[in-house]
Structure 1
């Protein structure tokens, strides 16, 4: 549901998958909202992995300068080892997948940021048992954390009959004046070149010169972007192995919640964190090497070793 102002700002809305909906809103910056519904904690692992792969793909497609908000029912519990001020004492299986997503894409669950009383943290009440849980989260990129003023759930059972509470967050954005549109500059460049065309030319000759005017304006106004390889850190073999160790340690701690088992779980998580950091460092070095190689080719005319012929 959207208010009148939000409806006017809506640019597009579409289904990414049957569990992921994406909406874009005009503004400076553009706001991208991803609404999700995760499989439950007892769903087959393949189903949960597919959901998080699809969600990771959607996150990668959002430009870095957009304000990104991911909201929904993640069916995941986060413990104090993975969130600042959570409702639960430990992280469950779905929470481990959510934690991996947070690390890989530098996201933050904002409704675990603020110190609230326990009654203002839970988001779901089981109708059969009456148990309270925190399963719903709002995620934003970490670079926007200082813009989040508040986040907390509100009871809405009486109005809509849901067993979930509405989680809201208040944001303050510092907007900047937009730069002139490249489209306007492109149009002016084409017009200035086309106006120089001689009158009385044959239609075919005039059309060819019009095409040339467009090509020249394109080279001047439209930057050429290098193709970059999509990062799939979550699928890296070392990450898969490290995540498997975390899951194995978590199951061991669930079966036998001792101090020793908790220590093993924390070590496995630290290994997963360091694995992500190492892979990010390797990808960064690879990019630096590609830039250096490209610079060398431009400097020496593309000849190996910088040799030249006379």
Structure 2
């Protein structure tokens, strides 16, 4: 916390009296409370000390006091109401907010001749407004990137997200699930060996339908990878491969 303006008040914990309830002890706790209350709320506060229970070298390795006093006890047999307090501390830092995803535009819309001309004119006019004769190559490139982003934001439609087809929405799944439900209802009304076997058969059919649809989807995606590769659309190929492999 050295980079912050806040600085704690100084107090000497070594002056704390060993007698609980004494004036020195109460003054110490009052001063300590004042210091803690000044600390900003977002700070992590860890308050440690033996205070009126003094731990000596005969009890712990690293301590200011040479002897353990009567206000310390780790066993009730010593006749004290003080006990050791231990804790396992885990610090969880607040994560930064996830930045907004960049918009993906439908660049294929520029195949439209009128939109293409409008995009070109808009970009040229905006680049003229931003450019100066003193601009170097790096500055010109930066402004060109800015112009392109502004023109896309203004004129191009945002690419629609392709909703992945859910297997559960497939008509074959819906039909088989209905058959399973009917078989289950029949089994509830008349629980016998035949109705039980019929229900089990319908469940196995539903499982097989899911497997068949998954295989169909995989075959379709593999075909799309081959087609994309044949057209040298390597970005699309890797997107499909990542989707297949997870």
TM-score range, shorter chain: 0.3 to 0.5
Q: TM-score, normalised by structure 1?
A: 0.27
Point out the structure with the larger helix share.
2
The TM-score, its normalising length taken from structure 2, stands at 0.33
The answer to which structure has the higher strand fraction is 1
